[in-house]
Structure 1
């Protein structure tokens, strides 16, 4: 029924029950999961998990939080790892000005490197953007082709959504759409074309209402899907069909 286009099942939060949980969510309707890496080490783990489960796929890349620690040697290894047949995208990569765990110059350098890897290996990029909308769009516009990127956990305005859609880039939306303060994403969803929309959990984070505060997993995507369907004036079944088709097209799965 669902494709979860952004998860972190390599996270320590799943150490106690990872295998059992993955089999359970798949049995209960999660058709496929894209597990997103954050650095070279997690890229390796994501690929290992993807090799173990037929329904799980991996991204490889460097998250902005890890930008200051990423070496040129690791970027070379990530590019080699990107050739794996279960790796469907580069990332997650981008800019995060909320936490600034890495200096902005390092974030931009590593984001640019991830974009370059995406172009060379011919696989799309999963973009992380938090409070860095202008710089993210500037770097994307200069280097990413139509259809070549998804802005994950989209948090921008309706105007930003229009710009992204005009470039043919995709959006993935998660549990934030169910939050009480979701006015901004509700306004954005009104202008996001159906054919560019995907669903995600970002688990173990971003758990939707009414379970906010608990560990998230792919089973909770149902609540996000129902809320987005309501916002967009679609049936639940229509939304699932459209977003699944978009995910299969974008990630070539």
Structure 2
């Protein structure tokens, strides 16, 4: 089937006066008519006030690449994990435990700041695969707690099960619902438990009224912002390739909805992000990153 969408990258936004961090992105995934290199993505992001990114792994290869890349790139921290949609397949092949052991090893590396994205996805995973997904999620939670790292949660059509798991096994001190997709009631639950809510370009979509209601409820000290690039490009460029440099469009839409100055919101979110992941200005080490053999993301995106 021919992809008829506009595959050109949107224009640069007006630079932010106060910078923020993109706390969930995948700069390794190629998209667009002319895919941007990692350096191009980071340079564009820096030019509009993006202070740094969290590069998120979804399997052993991309997690290893994220850790190695972050080790020598001062604008990047890494998150490492097995994506929940991959857990059932790995379990069926008898390799899930080996993959989890590799993630546990990567979690000890310098500038790995989070375990993620992990969680539950009942949209793509049928009933028979959910036990493996649950086992993987709980293993990731333990890895995060053992290493005092943040946890980045992928939660799709599984709100109740994710919340139940966190309450039952104990959430890490710094827990983030990546691409938050809940409503106001879920925002209240997150607030009660001190869990962070990370808003992506979806908060700008016309039909995302419940999501904006959740944003209104969320305490300002628990709000983060992300792109989940190359997916979820904010309005008015929905459907076109996404990248960290487009984060200001989402941030400005959030500030408008909250009826606050964008510089005030940026300062709060920047502080929140450093609380969750630490500071980006720790001295990088000299490591030559491995080539990533599969630059394309899973069909249909990760969010």
- What TM-score do you get using the length of structure 1 for normalisation? 0.95
Q: 2:272 corresponds to which residue? A: 246
Equivalent residue for 1:196? 222
Higher helix share: 1
Separation in 2, partners of 1:142, 1:231? 34
Matched, 1:89 2:114: yes
Distance (Å, rounded) in 2 between the aligned partners of 1:143 and 1:36: 24
Q: Residue 189 of structure 2 aligns to a residue in which SS?
A: helix
Q: Which has the larger radius of gyration?
A: 2
Q: Give the distance between the partners of 2:131 and 2:195, measured in 1 at CA.
A: 25
Contact between 1:146 and 1:168, CA under 8 Å: does it hold in 2? no
The answer to whether the 8 Å contact 1:147/1:170 transfers is: no
Q: Which has the higher contact order (CA 8 A, sep 6+)?
A: 2
Q: Which residue of 2 aligns with 1:47?
A: 67
Residue aligning to 2:288: none
1:1-253 equivalent positions in 2, closer than 5 A: 1-13=19-31, 16-68=36-88, 69=90, 71-100=96-125, 103-145=129-171, 147-253=173-279
User: What do residues 226-252 of structure 1 show as CA deviations (whole Å, max 9, x unaligned)?
Assistant: 111111121110110000100000111
SS of residue paired to 2:144: helix
Unaligned 5+ residue runs, structure 2?
Answer: 1-18, 280-303
RMSD of equivalent CA atoms: 1.6
| Structure 1 residue runs of 4 or more that deviate by more than 3 Å after TM superposition | 144-147
TM-aligned CA distance change 1:170 to 1:229, over 3 Å: same
Query: Structure 2-normalised TM-score?
Result: 0.80
Q: How many residues align?
A: 253
Distance 1:43 1:200 in 2: 18
